[in-house]
A and B are shown apart, each in its own frame.
Chain A
Amino acid sequence: MDFALSPNRVDFVPRTVTQPAKIVIAGAFAVGKTTFVASVSEVAPLRMEEPIIRASTTVDDLTGTPGKNTTTVGLDYGRIHLGNQLVLYLFGTPGQIRFRPLWEDLTEGALGALVLADTRDLDASHDILGLLESQNTPYAVAINLFDHAPRYPLPEIRQALALEDHTPLTECDAREYGSCLQALITLTEYLTRPAPPLEPQP
C-alpha cells in the first residue's frame, strides 16, 4: 500500500475544469472492465477499495473478527479530459450486483453505463442489465472481442441478452484505445437521442 504514502503522485485536474461527468463501465467478472478503463484513461487508472460487511452479519457485530466478516471490493476508475472545462470519469463496477449500496454510489448521477459482455458467458450479464434497468440507468452493450471467444451475429446476441430494440449493441476490443472510444461514443450518441416512447399513460 505504498501508494497511500506517496501523495505527491496525485494527478490534479487544472483549475479550468468546472464540470465532471461520469460513465460507468459495467459487466460481469473478468469481462474486461479494468482493461477498458486502462485503455481509454489519460492517467494511470486508480483503485479505490470499499470494505463491505457481509450480509450474514449485522453492523453491530463487534466481536473482533473483522477479517471473517468483511471483504474488500476494488473499484477501478480513470479519466479523460474533454476540453478545458470538462472531465469524464469512467468507473468500473463490481462484477457482482450483491453490493447494492456500492452500485448506487457508482450509478448515482452517471450519464449512463456501458455494459461489457463476453460471448462465452452472455448469461452472466443478465443480473447487471436487470439492476441497471431497475435503477433507470440508461445503458449500451459492447461485446468485448476476446481472441478466442466465439463470434456471433449481433442480432443473435441481442436476442440472447433480451435487449430492447433501442438499446445500442456494438463490439469493441477493450485493449484498444480507438475501439473503446468508439464504444463510448455509441453510448453517448444514444444518451443524446430523445428518450424512447414510454408505455401508454393511463
Chain B
Amino acid sequence: MAECCSVLSPHEQRIQEEIQGKQNFEGRERVYNILNSFNTERPKIDIERAKYFTESFKQTEGQPLVLRWAKAMKHIAENITVYIDEHQLLVGRSGYSGRYGILYPELDGDFLDVGIEELPKRVESPFNITQEDADVVINEIAPYWKGKTFHESLTESLPEETFKLTYDPENPLMSRFIVNETASFRSSIQWVHDYEKVLKRGFKGIKEEAQEKLEALDPLSPVDNAEKRPFLEAVVTVCDAIITWAKRHAKMAAELAEKETDAQRKKELHEIAEICAWVPENPARNFREAVQSQWFTQMFSRIEQKTGTIISNGRMDQYLYPYYVKDVEEGIITEKEATELLECMWVAMAQFIDLYISPTGGAFNEGYAHWEAVTIGGQTPDGCDATNELTYLFLKSKQEFPLNYPDLAARMHSRAPERYWYEVAETVKEGSGFPKLINDEEIIPLLLAKGAGFEEANDYAVSGCAESRMPNRDTYTSGCAYINYAAAVEMTLYNGKTQKTGDEVIGLETGDPREFETWEEFWGAYLAQQTNYLKHAFIQQHTIINLRAKHFATPMGSALHDLCMENCIDLHQPKIEGGIDLGYFECIGYATVVDSLAAIKKLVFEDKKLTMAEMLEALQNNFEGKEDIRQMLANAPKYGNNDPYTDTIAKAVDRESVKFTSKYSKELGVHLDLRLVPFTSNVPFGKVVSATPNGRKAWAPLSDGASASQGADVNGPTAILQSNFNSKNYDYRERAARLLNIKFSPSCVAGEEGTDKLVSYIKTWCDLKLWHLQFNIINKETLLAAKEDPDKYRNLIVRVAGYSAFFVDLSSDLQDDLISRTQHETM
C-alpha cells in the first residue's frame, strides 16, 4: 500500500526555501559569497589562452611538437592575466572572473571564426564574447590555424565511405550523427593525472629527473637526440612554466596584501603569497599547500589541452589524506577549515566551463557538462577497504553544500563498511544526483583481464563520466567514435537509406524488408548494418590514432606519467612501451534498438499481428493517422523489465559488438571496448532518426546509455538492474562503462526505512557487477514547475548523464527527455 503523501527531497526543500527568500548561509559565508557572485551569469569566452598559444606557435614552426607545446605553455604562463578572486583562498584561473570558457584553436580553429559568432545564439550551452575579443579571434587567431587543425586533417584523411557516415558531405562542420567522431572537439578522452607525484615531489623534483635524464642521454644516439632530448627539454620547460605561473600569483597576492585594509583578508593574502611561492614547485608541507598545488596542476592541465569532459581529480580522499591527518593531529587545521578549503575548490571549478566551439561538441555536452570526477572510497592498492575520514568529509560537504561541482564518484565494493554504504545512500537521498556509483567488482577484474597488475587495478581512479584510469599505466587517449545503432535499424528498414538523408544510400543495401520471410533474415540484415557501422568506426579510429601524434602533445601530462618519463615519449604518441591502451566506442540508442527489434520479431514475425508493409507505412508517416499501430508497437515487450524476450536480443546486440572489437582491437593495438554512455548525445542522435518500431516518433531522443527507453521500464527498479545484467556478455573482456540512470520519487526512499532499502538496492547492484549507477531523486512536479518557471528554479540541480547540471541550463528537448524517464514509486 502506498504512503501517498508527497515527500520533498532535501534538495527540493532547499529550493522551495530559496523561492520563499529563506536562504541559510551560516558557516558557509565565504563559499556562498563566491557562488552568488557568478551563479546566474551566462559564461564568457576568454581568448587569452588561444591568443598566447597561437603567438608562440607562430614563433616555433619546424621544431618538435612536444617542445613547441611546452614553449607555448611557458609563453602563456608568463603573459596570461593573473587573478586573485575576492573571498577566495585558492588561486589559479585561466580566464575572466565569473564563469568562463577558453579556446583551443589547434583542435577546430578552422571554424573558430564561424563558431564564435554562433555561440551566443546556441540553444545548448550558450556563451558570450565581447566584440573586441571576437575580433582578435577572427583576425589574429583563426587565420593562422586554417589548414593546420586536427579537424581539417581528419576530414581530409577519412576514406570516402567512412566520411559519408561521419560528416555531412556538404558541410564537414556538421556531424551526420551516425558514426560520429569526437576527436576533433577534444584532444584526448577523459584523463586523470598522478597528482600525488606533484604533492610529494613538486615540479622541481620532476624537472630534476628530466635534467638527470638529459645528462645521461647518449650524445651520439640518433633516437636520444631526435626524440628523447626534445621531450625532456619540453618537460623541463613546462615545469618552469607552471612554477612561473604560480609565482606570478604569489607576487600579486603580496602586492594586494600590502594594500588590503581588512586585517583578516590581509592575513589570507599573505598566506596565499607564501603558499604560491612554495607550491607546486616544492613538495606540499600541509593540507592547504596540497590543495593549492593540486589546483594549480589541474588548472594548468586545462590550459595545456582540451581533455575530454575536463581533467579528472583522481582519488582525492587518498592522496590528500596524509596531509589532512597530520594537520588535524597537529592542530594546524580543523575539519571545518578543511571543508571550507575544499569548497573553495568546488566554487572555483564551477567557474571553468568546458567550451565546445563545434555544434556537435555543444550538443554532446548540454547544460555546460563537466565530469571532473573526484573519486572517493574503493580499495587500497593491496586490496583493503580505502575509506577514511576524508571520504566522509567529501560526502558531508556534498550533502550540506550541494553544488553541481565537483562531479563526485564513489567507488563501491562488496566489503565496504556499513557506514560508507549508508552515508553514500544518505547523500544520494539529498536529491541533487551525487555521488555517482562506480563498481569495483566489475572494473577491477576487467582491468586485470586487460593487462593491469593487481596493485594498479585496485588503485584505479574514476575518470570522466563513468570510466576509470590507472594514471601510470593507461596511455590511449584519442576521442572515440559514437555510433548511432538506432540508425542501423532505420537503414535495415529502408535498405541502406534513412528518411533524413533521402535517396542517398549511406548504409548497406540489405534488401527490402517486406520481402523478408523470417525474423532471422531481418536480424541478419540488421546485423550487417550494425557491423558496417563498426567497420567504419574502426577505420575512423585508425585514422585518428595515426593523426593524433602529429597534432597534439602534452608535456605536462607526460611529465606526470611514469611510462612517458621512462621512455621519454609524449603521451599522445600511439604506442608507449608498457602501456595499456584503453579506448572505447559508443553504442547510442541501445534500448531504442532492442525494443524496435523485439517489436518486429514479436508483432511481424511471430504473432503476425502486423505486416512489415503496414508497419513501414506507419513509420514513414510518423504514425500520422496510425496511432493504433504506434500503440501496438509501444506495447510490445520492452528492454528494462527483466523480460528474457527483450534481454536476449539486447545481449545479442551487445555480443555482436564485443565480438567485432575482440577481433579488430588487436589489429589496432588499442582496446576499443563497447560502452553505453551517451553524455547528452541521445538527443542530437535522435534528431537524425525517423520513427522507430518501438513506437518512438521521428526525431525524438533515443534511449540513454544502458537505461530503458523513456517510460518503458514498468516493472520497477529491480528489473532494470537485472535487464542490464542479463544483457551483458560476461565471457568477453571487451566491456567498457554502461551508464544507468534511475529516477526515484523522494517518497520512495523516505525515512530510515527508505535508507535501508536504498542501501540494499545499491548492494545488490554491486553484487550484479554492473558498472555504474546514478540516481535522480526528485518529484516530477518539481521538474515540470522548473520548466514552467525557470527563474525560480535557477538552483535546481538534476542528474543528466554521469554529471549533474542546472535544470534550467538544459535545452527544452533534454528537459522533456528527463521528465519522460520512468519514475519509480513506492507501492
* A-B complex is real: no
Using a CB–CB cutoff of 8 Å, the interface residues on chain B facing chain A are: none
Using a CB–CB cutoff of 8 Å, the interface residues on chain A facing chain B are: none
